[in-house]
Amino acid sequence: MRDTLKLLSGKYKYLSGLTLLLFIFIVCAAFSRTGNDDYALARKEVLLRKIGHELLLQSGDSTSRVLPVKKIADNEYLISFANEFTFQPDSLVNTTRRLLAKDPLAGDYVVNVLNRNNAGVAFGYAISQDKKDDIVACSGRQQPKGYYRISIKFKPTGMNATKNGYLLGSLPFLAFVGFVFLRSAKPRKVLPEIQPAGIFNFGPVLFDVQERLLTINEKNIVLTGTETRLLLIFAMSPNETIARSRLQKEIWEDEGIIVGRSLDMFISKLRKKLEFDPNIKIVVIRGKGYKLEIGNL
């Protein structure tokens, strides 16, 4: 009963650990997404539509529509128009700089004016918070009338980059913490040495698990802890084949290291200690494992 409670406790700790790690990951993921605030995005789209509106007014068009702004990639938006128009590059640069200055998250950005028919770039420039890094070419030239679309790509803000870096950087750490925690909380198998005391009787042979003792023809033979665990597995399934992999897993799993020859060595030691009774022997079942053969059982 006590062993059962310990096993259940281990399973409870294991599930609790998984739940805790899942909670931490969700919190980190939510933290990384706070930069994508719905209100901030909606406000940015309004500013982009206003850029399109003022651009049409500057070209003398006060009736045609600015089409819905589309988000075409991370931090990239597309402003489209229903009709043809013309624009002054200098006016476009000043308009975007003035309106986007109202958005605290719109620091550096690149603007490309695209021809709708051939998708070529008719005009482009880059604006930076540090004005000396601005790149504006072909200013002062009147652009011909056409169906234009305006692409504006924003540089990720330091806040978003930090949050994304925090999430990505925390994943290896979470994996390491999870490995350590789950290994320590993993429900361990109830090993023979902590099971209730028991005595197995194989004809003239007595196997005392608690005392780690074999008694054969009134001769006492002391067993090591590993030999006791190994023999107990055999004793609980006499005359049945036990897979080699099962023996290795149940004996050495908690040590974390399994050496193939270790099993053979302990099997050999047990054989020598059992050889006083010819009716009891450990035999190899080729390609499968081992069997404790007990005559007249």
SS (H, E, C) the chain: CHHHHHHHHHHHHHHHHHHHHHHHHHHHHHHHCHHHCHHHHHHHHHHHHHHHHHHHHHCCCCCCCECCCEEEECCEEEEEECCCECCCHHHHHHHHHHHHCCCCCCCCEEEEEEECCCCCEEEEEEECCCHHHCEECCCCCCCCCECEEEEEEECCCHHHHHHHHHHHHHHHHHHHHHHHHHHHHCCCCCCHHHCCCCEEEECCEEEECCCCEEEECCEEEECCHHHHHHHHHHHHCCCCEEEHHHHHHHHHHHHCCCCHHHHHHHHHHHHHHHCCCCCEEEEEECCCEEEEEECCC
Topology (CATH) of 192-294: Arc Repressor Mutant, subunit A (1.10.10)
| Chain-centroid distance, C-alpha 37 | 25
* Tens digits of residue pLDDT in 159-199: 454 455 555 555 665 666 555 555 554 444 433 333 445 78
Distance, CA of 184 to chain centre:
19
Tell me the pLDDT tens digit for each residue of 115-138: 876 667 888 888 887 777 778 766
Sheet with 121-127, side-by-side order of all strands:
70-73, 76-80, 148-154, 109-115, 121-127, 135-136
Structure-block tokens of residue 162: 């930090």
Predicted pLDDT at 295? 76
The 10s digit of each residue's pLDDT in 28-55 is 555 555 445 677 778 888 889 899 899 8
C-beta of residue 270 within 8 angstroms of C-beta of residue 226 = no
Calculate ∠ Cα 189-192-197, nearest 5°: 135
Residue type, 100: L
Supply the pLDDT for residue 203.
73
Q: How far apart are CA 214 and CA 274, in angstroms?
A: 9
| Domain boundaries defined on the chain | 2-32+161-185, 35-155, 192-294
Mean pLDDT of 215-223: 87
Using left for φ > 0, alpha for ψ between -120 and 50, and beta otherwise, residue 239 falls in left
Does residue 76 register a pLDDT over 80?
yes
Supply the pTM of this predicted model. 0.43
pLDDT in tens, 230-281: 989 988 888 999 998 888 888 876 555 555 567 888 899 998 988 888 888 8
Q: Which of 189, 179, 187, 185 is nearest to 252 (CA)?
A: 189
Q: Cβ atoms within 10 A of the Cβ of 92, count?
A: 23
Task: Give residue 229's Cα distance to chain centre.
Answer: 37
